[in-house]
Amino acid sequence: MLKVMQEARWSIVIPVKTLIRAKTRLAGAAGTHREDLAVAVAADTTSAALACPLVARVIVVTADPIPAARLAALGAVVVQDPDKGLNTALRAGFAHSVLLAPHDPVAALQADLPALRPAELAQVLAAAAQFDESFVPDATTVGTTLYATLPGVPFHPRFGGESRNRHLSGGAKELALDDIPTVRRDVDTVEDLRTAAALGLGPHTAAVAAKFLVD
């Protein structure tokens, strides 16, 4: 079902892992900087979302006090992660967003988008406002970086693994937009980080990456 929301202002839900589990695939490259990198990436993702003109609020879901304090200082609302998996965390953030603003649309956004640009996120959210339920595939077209629903629509995130196919089979509209590389470039490996660096890292990630990432 197609809907159109004029001048929608969104709640963005960002799940942030505990640092002991964050960015473990980057441990070999980042070494002792891995935890700092995880916090920095989440900080740049959160900062970009907060700077997007279509975003009213960012709700961070985490069980770790270190990123919780850092992201709250940036202006995010922090919600306790029930620690029962990624999609459960997103549903907890969604429930809180409904309490805060029941008539606003909600988007779940991965926390590892260190090159995210507010203008590209605005382009995605404007497109998402035309559909009940929608998503953006990651750069590999296997996973998902953003999942969105309009007010009153059931919120059923299906993140993890081959989530693009699960979102498609669940009826969500795939937002196949041009020129949104920073929304699709999540970072799990050092190769991903290099690709994100070519797009332009946010300042928090750039400062940490400079300590170990070499050309």
**Strand-strand pairing, 144-149 and 173-174:** unpaired
End-to-end CA distance of the chain: 47
Q: What is the pLDDT of residue 25?
A: 86
Query: DSSP secondary-structure letter at 142?
Result: S
Rounded Cα gap, residues 126 and 157, in angstroms = 19
Q: What is the pLDDT of residue 8?
A: 74
For residue range 144-183, what is the model confidence (pLDDT) as tens digits?
Answer: 999 999 999 999 999 999 999 999 999 999 999 999 999 9
Cβ-defined contacts of 65-71 (< 8 Å, 24+)? 66/19, 66/35, 66/39, 67/16, 67/19, 67/38, 67/39, 67/42, 67/43, 68/16, 70/39, 70/42, 70/43, 71/14, 71/16, 71/42, 71/43, 71/46
Q: Is residue 144 a known part of a binding site? A: yes
Is the pLDDT higher at 4 or at 25? 25
For residue range 69-84, what is the model confidence (pLDDT) as tens digits?
Answer: 999 999 999 999 998 9
Q: What is the pLDDT of residue 127?
A: 97
Q: Is residue 97 a known part of a binding site? A: no
The number of beta carbons lying within 10 Å of the beta carbon of residue 201 is: 24
Secondary-structure breakdown of the chain: helix, strand, coil percentages, each rounded to the nearest 5: 45, 20, 40
- Among all chains, which residue has been given the structure tokens 């595939």? 137
Query: What is the rounded average pLDDT of the residues 92-118?
Result: 98
Please say whether the dihedral angle defined by the alpha carbons of residues 79, 110, 42 and 7, taken in this order, is positive or negative.
negative
Q: What is the pLDDT of residue 1?
A: 47
Q: Is residue 160 a known part of a binding site? A: yes
Name the CATH superfamily, with its identifier, for domain 10-209: Spore Coat Polysaccharide Biosynthesis Protein SpsA; Chain A (3.90.550.10)
Res 129 pLDDT > 50: yes
Res 7 pLDDT > 70: no
Res 212 pLDDT > 50: yes
CA-angle at 19, arms to 17 and 22, nearest 5°: 60
DSSP track, 169-213? HTTPEE---SS-HHHH---SSHHHHHHHHHH---HHHHHHHTTT-
